């Protein structure tokens, strides 16, 4: 019987060779991140200059946003290529990409994670509809984010008369994964973790590529993990295990059983904090799209305030899902987005992405960076830095209905809300509704072809996607149609029949008191 091979993180780091392909499993905010091992690799590089020229692959954000996770590798010469689904967790890595010090690629989190599964299964890459007509499509950049990124990682193919994307496979040399504990056979359990993430897919990709799997755990168990179903990664996948007793459940936070799903929902819970100001106006209007019995997804930012509003107003929220794998939990938000409190189920994030890809979401509420006349949305490249798609593409591409939530303008926008009326105190200096988005994270063209129901909610106006493109559906009470909306758009937009009758008069989205 195979026995666990225990090692310290420094010994693991010494095995990582120059030019290796390293996969990081986990999610931002410390969710199931093997950061103790990553730190050892960083320390070795800073001391010796090795390993260098690594290829780093990660589906979701990894780290605390400053020094841990992806930032462990954000040193000149340490990496030559990054294929990432979430870049905002490391400003240093964003800078390396911006300055052409690395080959920078961004792909959707689900495509990266399920590609790892396909690599582990020995199949010829990932063939999917996810990413068509977005930045991942070679006709729109193929995920390339700077001049150094010249290789085509994705191709458009025809299969059975359908247009699909082929994400090409690659060899994985090392996978860094994490669990709560390991037993004498090297089996890992994630029973106290906030999510299962893509640990299994990442480990299988490395193991079946002839690479190695390095695991980090908090506890070394004297006996076998029971029940056997509690094993999240069988020991046959694992080459070396490092025990790190100071491991925390999330960034800097002790283990909380309500987050790992080990505690039942209490009969009475404190009400969630209500969003305020601009976030309240947008989230409140978006919440009116909720309907009983729906499978719902809430994205990061403004949308994660919708459940609190729904709870306050007695609206049924539905069956909630997020890409990290929890179902029906209370969203924690901010840097802990991806973890939930009192989830009713936790599945692997790869399985969650399969569910999304197949159209399992009835309605998704996502953020909105830029919007254009075609109904395209950009959240993946804003300003000078690569931002991230995360699970955005996987979620929005097949959801039956999508409600995008974002401010009409940015930088300096001030809005007052009194007596149910909205007043623009100071307009923003940066338009968010533009002639053409810089990066297509959501394709209006594809959505129209598929007959998808799409709304775009701002603090002053709601737009909808029609077969002809963007249309202004309604405006908030107190907003002047011409002065507050139409004159501030860079293109002419048709009006809904109800708005067209008002000429220049205001129309309320609803009573916001």
When divided into structural domains, the chain yields a total of 2
Residue with tokens 């690629």: 105
Q: pLDDT grade, residue 409 (50/70/90)? A: very high
Query: Are 437 and 327 within one domain?
Result: yes
Ramachandran angles phi, psi of 6, nearest 5°: -90, 140
What is the CB neighbour count within 10 angstroms for residue 498? 10
Query: Are 204 and 155 within one domain?
Result: yes
Query: Are 300 and 196 within one domain?
Result: no
Mean of the pLDDT values across residues 382-394? 85
With 0-12 CB in 10 A as exposed, 13-18 as middle and 19+ as buried, what is 397?
A: buried
Q: CA-CA distance, 420 to 283, in Å (whole number)?
A: 15
Tokens for 205?
A: 């990709």
| Contact partners, residue 500, CB within 8 Å, separation at least 6 | none
Nearest to 334 by CA among 229, 416, 231, 253: 253
> CATH no. for residue 29?
3.40.1080.10
Mean of the pLDDT values across residues 335-343? 86
- The domain of 370 spans 277-500
Please check the confidence at residue 140 and state whether its pLDDT lies above 60: yes
Query: Are 235 and 296 within one domain?
Result: no
Query: Are 318 and 217 within one domain?
Result: no
pLDDT at 301: 84
Give catalytic residue positions: 323
Q: pLDDT grade, residue 503 (50/70/90)? A: low
Mean of the pLDDT values across residues 439-460? 96
Ramachandran angles phi, psi of 488, nearest 5°: -100, 5
pLDDT at 513: 34
The model's pTM is: 0.94
User: Where do runs of H (alpha helix) occur along 374-507?
Assistant: 392-398, 444-450, 497-500
Please check the confidence at residue 453 and state whether its pLDDT lies above 90: yes
Pairing of strands 188-189, 231-233: antiparallel
Query: Are 33 and 81 within one domain?
Result: yes
pLDDT at 309: 93
Mean of the pLDDT values across residues 396-405? 97
Query: Are 215 and 307 within one domain?
Result: no
Residue 265 lies inside a defined structural domain of this protein: no
Nearest to 299 by CA among 437, 432, 210, 405: 405
Confirm if 307 and 314 have CB atoms less than 8 A apart: no
Least confident of 96-110, 123-137, 324-338, 396-410: 324-338
């Amino acid at each position: 019987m195979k026995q666990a091979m225990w090692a310290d993180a420094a010994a693991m780091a010494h095995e990582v060779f120059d030019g290796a392909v390293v996969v990081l499993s986990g999610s931002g905010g410390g969710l199931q991140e093997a950061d103790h091992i990553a730190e050892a690799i960083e320390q070795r590089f800073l001391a010796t200059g090795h390993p260098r020229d690594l290829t780093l692959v990660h589906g979701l954000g990894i780290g605390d946003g400053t020094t841990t996770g992806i930032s462990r590798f954000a040193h000149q010469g340490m990496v030559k290529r990054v294929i990432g689904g979430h870049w905002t967790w490391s400003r240093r890595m964003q800078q390396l990409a911006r300055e052409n010090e690395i080959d920078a690629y961004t792909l959707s989190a689900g495509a990266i994670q399920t590609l790892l599964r396909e690599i582990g299964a020995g199949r010829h890459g990932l063939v999917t509809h996810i990413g068509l007509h977005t930045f991942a499509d070679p006709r729109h950049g193929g995920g390339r984010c700077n001049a150094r990124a010249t290789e085509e990682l994705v191709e458009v193919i025809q299969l059975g008369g359908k247009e699909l994307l082929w994400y090409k496979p690659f060899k994985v040399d090392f996978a860094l994964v994490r669990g709560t504990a390991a037993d004498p056979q090297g089996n890992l359990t994630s029973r106290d973790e906030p999510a299962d993430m893509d640990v299994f897919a990442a480990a299988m990709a490395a193991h079946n590529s002839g690479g190695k799997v390095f695991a980090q755990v908090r506890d070394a168990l004297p006996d076998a993990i029971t029940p056997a179903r509690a094993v999240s990664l069988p020991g046959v996948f694992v080459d070396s295990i490092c025990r790190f007793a100071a491991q925390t459940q999330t960034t800097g936070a002790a283990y909380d059983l309500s987050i790992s799903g080990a505690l039942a929902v209490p009969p009475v819970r404190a009400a969630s904090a209500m969003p305020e100001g601009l976030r309240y106006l947008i989230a409140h209007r978006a919440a009116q799209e909720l309907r009983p019995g729906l499978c719902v997804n809430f994205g990061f930012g403004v949308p994660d305030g919708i459940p609190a509003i729904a709870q306050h107003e007695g609206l049924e929220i539905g069956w909630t899902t997020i890409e990290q794998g929890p179902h029906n939990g209370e969203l924690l938000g901010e840097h802990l987005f991806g973890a939930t409190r009192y989830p009713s189920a936790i599945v692997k994030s790869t399985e969650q992405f399969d569910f999304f890809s197949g159209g399992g979401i009835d309605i998704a509420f996502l953020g909105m960076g830029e919007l254009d006349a075609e109904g395209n949305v950009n959240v993946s490249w804003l300003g000078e830095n690569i931002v991230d798609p995360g699970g955005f593409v996987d979620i929005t591409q097949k959801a039956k209905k999508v409600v995008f939530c974002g401010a009409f303008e940015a930088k300096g926008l001030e809005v007052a809300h009194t007596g149910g009326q909205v007043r623009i105190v100071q307009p923003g200096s940066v338009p968010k509704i533009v002639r053409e988005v810089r990066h297509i994270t959501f394709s209006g063209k594809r959505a129209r072809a598929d007959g998808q129901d799409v709304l775009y909610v701002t603090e002053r106006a709601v737009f909808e996607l029609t077969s002809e493109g963007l249309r202004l559906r309604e405006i908030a009470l107190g907003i002047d149609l011409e002065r507050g909306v139409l004159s501030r758009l860079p293109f002419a937009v048709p009006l809904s029949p109800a708005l067209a009758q008002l000429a220049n008069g205001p129309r309320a989205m609803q009573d916001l008191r």
